[in-house]
């Protein structure tokens, strides 16, 4: 289980990556993330982030018919969202590279007699 | 019909498919959202989204806390942080529309009490007047106080949506009612005689203006 504090800064970018595959809705995004090993993320955690992404123009919402109740809201990536995803991927690669180097160094020091 | 009213009707209709547990949580959330500085239309959009999430979860056999966690208020605050705030223009139109609607509704109650009842039951009401209706200082003060009290109660109930019933709120309501009755009794000096037709026209004007402003606020 990934600690929520660690997840916080990356979830928005990860949601963009899921949406890039195909237009999708909140619950399906949560399922996709769980399948990638993120653990159980409640739809209620994802919904405010989707609202934020929609407000910033990174995703576009579209209503599609649902079997029950009102139409379901599907989210698709916009050009701006694609740019944000690319920026996230670059920043994340930089971060993981730095963390990897630091942790490898720490591990080496621990192993030295 | 405005787009908000249309959406509200759609939301009311599909909410009947929710079981009592989901319905109660959604009702509490809507009550909480009502006093937020976001437009009624955006409140209804959020209501529709959450309602859809709840319907899906209900079909999967889940509980509300599986969808939005256990802190409903925190969830609502996170959602509200992402919903566009009312602009100054919207705030003014919304405030005027709500204010005029309240004055209009209060006017109907007051007119019925002062006009109709005193016409039919002059002894019971104590101050007869038809078609000229006496307006006292108490009437004016009571109108201001009752509108302020209604606004305060609305916000208190909305903010306490997830806290359950509040005895303090009940006490405050009774104190407000008692104060209103005292004010009406004490300040009974006559200000003016208002013709029934003029009073009725004023009330109709308030209600019509309220709908017109609501229409412009909803565009």
Q: Which residues of B51-70 are buried (b: 16+ CB within 10 A; e: fewer)?
A: bbbbbbbbeeeeebeebbee
- CATH fold of the domain at B3-82: c-terminal domain of poly(a) binding protein (1.10.1900)
- What residue has token string 């209900």? B58
pLDDT recorded at residue B93: 92
pLDDT recorded at residue A71: 78
Under 8 Å between Cβ of B193 and B134 = yes
Span B2-13, pLDDT tens digits:
888 899 998 998
pLDDT recorded at residue A70: 66
pLDDT recorded at residue A83: 96
Chain Cα centroid distance, residue B168: 20
User: Using CB atoms, which residue from A42, A44, A70 is nearest to B52?
Assistant: A70
* Residue of A44, A59, A61 to mutate for B, most B C-beta atoms under 10 A: A44
Chain B interface residues (partner A, CB cutoff 8 A): 10-11, 14, 17, 48-53, 55-57, 59, 66-69, 75, 78-79, 81-84
Nearest CA in chain A to B68: A44
Q: Which residues of B149-181 are buried (b: 16+ CB within 10 A; e: fewer)?
A: beeeeeeebeebbeeeeeeeeeeebeebeeebe
User: Using CB atoms, which residue from B10, B51, B68 is nearest to A42?
Assistant: B68
Under 8 Å between Cβ of A42 and B68 = yes
Length, in residues, of chain A: 113
Q: Do B53 and A48 touch (CB under 8 A)?
A: no
Span B150-205, pLDDT tens digits:
888 888 888 888 876 667 777 877 888 888 888 877 888 888 888 888 999 999 99
**Weakest-pLDDT range from A14-18, A36-40, B157-161, B168-172:** B168-172
pLDDT tops 90 at residue A95: yes
Q: Which residues pair with A75 in a beta bridge?
A: A24, A61
- From B71's Cα to the closest Cα of chain A, the distance in A is 11
Average pLDDT over residues A9-17: 94
pLDDT recorded at residue B117: 64
pLDDT recorded at residue B132: 81
- Percent of chain B past pLDDT 70, that is, above it, reads 91
Q: Which residues pair with B121 in a beta bridge?
A: none
Q: Do B68 and A43 touch (CB under 8 A)?
A: yes
pLDDT recorded at residue A69: 59
Residues of chain B contacting residue A71, judged by C-beta atoms under 8 Å apart: 52
- From A40's Cα to the closest Cα of chain B, the distance in A is 10
pLDDT recorded at residue B83: 94
At how many degrees (to 10) do helices B40-59 and B3-15 cross?
20
Task: Identify which has the larger pLDDT, B174 or B128.
Answer: B174
Q: Do B52 and A69 touch (CB under 8 A)?
A: yes
Under 8 Å between Cβ of B85 and B37 = yes
**Weakest-pLDDT range from A32-41, B67-76, B113-122, B194-203:** B113-122
Three-class secondary structure assignment of A1-66: CCCHHHHHHHHHHHHHHHHHHCCECHHHHHHHHHHCCCCCCCHHHHHHHHHHHHHHCCEEEEEECC
Average pLDDT over residues A81-94: 96
Residues of chain B contacting residue A15, judged by C-beta atoms under 8 Å apart: none
pLDDT recorded at residue A21: 95
Q: Class for domain A4-111, per CATH?
A: mainly alpha
- From A68's Cα to the closest Cα of chain B, the distance in A is 8
* Residue of A25, A48, A69 to mutate for B, most B C-beta atoms under 10 A: A69
pLDDT recorded at residue A2: 75
Residue spans per domain, chain B: 3-82, 88-217
- From A89's Cα to the closest Cα of chain B, the distance in A is 24
DSSP secondary structure code for residue B98 in this structure: H
Nearest CA in chain B to A26: B53
**Weakest-pLDDT range from A106-110, B77-81, B123-127:** B123-127
pLDDT recorded at residue A58: 97
- From B132's Cα to the closest Cα of chain A, the distance in A is 52
pLDDT tops 60 at residue A29: yes
Please, what is the end-to-end C-alpha distance for chain B in angstroms?
Answer: 12
- Percent of chain A past pLDDT 70, that is, above it, reads 95
Q: Do A69 and B59 touch (CB under 8 A)?
A: no
Task: Identify which has the larger pLDDT, A46 or A69.
Answer: A46
Average pLDDT over residues A58-71: 82
Cis peptide before B131 (omega within 30 of 0): yes
């Amino acid at each position: 289980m990934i600690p929520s504090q660690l997840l916080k800064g990356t979830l928005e970018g990860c949601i963009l990556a899921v949406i890039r595959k195909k237009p999708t809705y909140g619950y399906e995004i949560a399922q996709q993330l769980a399948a990638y090993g993120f653990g159980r993320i409640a739809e209620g955690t994802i919904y405010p982030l989707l609202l934020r992404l929609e407000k910033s123009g990174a995703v576009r919402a579209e209503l599609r018919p649902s079997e029950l109740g009102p139409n379901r809201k599907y989210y698709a990536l916009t050009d701006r969202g694609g740019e944000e995803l690319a920026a996230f991927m670059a920043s994340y690669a930089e971060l993981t590279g730095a963390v990897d180097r630091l942790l490898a160094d720490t591990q080496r020091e621990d192993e030295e007699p | 019909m405005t787009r908000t009213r249309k959406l509200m009707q759609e939301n009311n209709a599909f909410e009947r498919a929710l079981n009592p547990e989901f319905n109660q949580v959604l009702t509490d959330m809507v009550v909480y959202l009502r006093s937020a500085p976001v437009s009624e239309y955006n409140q209804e959009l959020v209501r529709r989204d959450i309602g859809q999430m709840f319907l899906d979860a209900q079909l999967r056999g889940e509980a509300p806390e599986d969808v939005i966690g256990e802190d409903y208020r925190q969830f609502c605050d996170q959602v509200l942080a992402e919903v566009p705030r009312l602009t100054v223009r919207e705030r003014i139109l919304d405030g005027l529309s709500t204010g005029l609607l309240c004055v209009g509704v209060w006017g109907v109650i007051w007119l019925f009490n002062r006009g109709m009842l005193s016409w039919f039951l002059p002894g019971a009401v104590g101050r007869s007047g038809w078609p000229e209706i006496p307006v006292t200082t108490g009437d004016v003060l009571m109108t201001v106080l009752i509108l302020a009290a209604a606004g305060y109660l609305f916000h208190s109930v909305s903010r306490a949506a997830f806290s359950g019933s509040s005895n303090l709120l009940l006490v405050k309501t009774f104190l407000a009612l008692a104060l209103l009755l005292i004010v009406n009794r004490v300040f009974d000096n006559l200000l003016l005689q208002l013709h029934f037709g003029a009073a009725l026209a004023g009330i109709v004007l308030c209600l019509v203006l309220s709908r017109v402003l609501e229409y412009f606020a909803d565009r």
